[in-house]
Amino acid sequence: MTLYAAYGSNLDPARMGLRCPHSPLQTTGWLTGWRLTFGGEDLGWDGALSTIVEDPIDQVFVAVYDVTREDESSLDGWESAETGLYRKTKVRVSTMSGELLVWTYVLDAYEGGLPSASYLGVLADAAEAADAPADYVAALRRRPCRSTGL
């Protein structure tokens, strides 16, 4: 088993239960010194894709899952890691019981572009399902997004 930090749609425990049925939620916490952003607008079918970048004054809410090897392979497929769209990186998560060394996915594309409104809604709903603080969820819902019909 290995610890994985979800910050996007995988924050939703129900979604992760379907994608990784043998990998339980362990805890939630914060990636301190990182910021949620978007990039690869030309790579996604519906606008820019979520990612994280280092930022000394920001933090990102995450859910930490204990992922089996089999589920990790499945998750790599969901996140297009085998194509190089996302790469894995090690990060430290601050939790109520201390720091954890975990891995997460980072988009291998330039930062910039806007996500679609529907994608941003999925991310906000996932954060809400993971019990992210209300102000974090509200900030996600207020982010700029692509208008429909583009």
Q: Is 99 a catalytic residue?
A: no
Q: Among all chains, which residue has been given the structure tokens 């603080």? A: 133
Is 8 annotated in a binding site? The answer is yes
Is 4 annotated in a binding site? The answer is yes
- Residue 49 near residue 40 (C-beta atoms within 8 A): yes
Is 74 annotated in a binding site? The answer is no
Is 136 annotated in a binding site? The answer is no
* Burial class of residue 54 in the structure, from the number of CB atoms within 10 Å of its CB (0-12 exposed, 13-18 middle, 19+ buried): exposed
CA-based max dimension of the chain: 45
CA 107 to CA 55: how far, in whole Å? 16
Which of the following is catalytic: 54, 72, 79, 128? 79
Is 5 annotated in a binding site? The answer is yes
Is 6 annotated in a binding site? The answer is yes
Residues designated as active site: 79
Q: Which residues are annotated as a binding site for substrate?
A: 4-9, 119
Annotated binding site: 4-9, 119
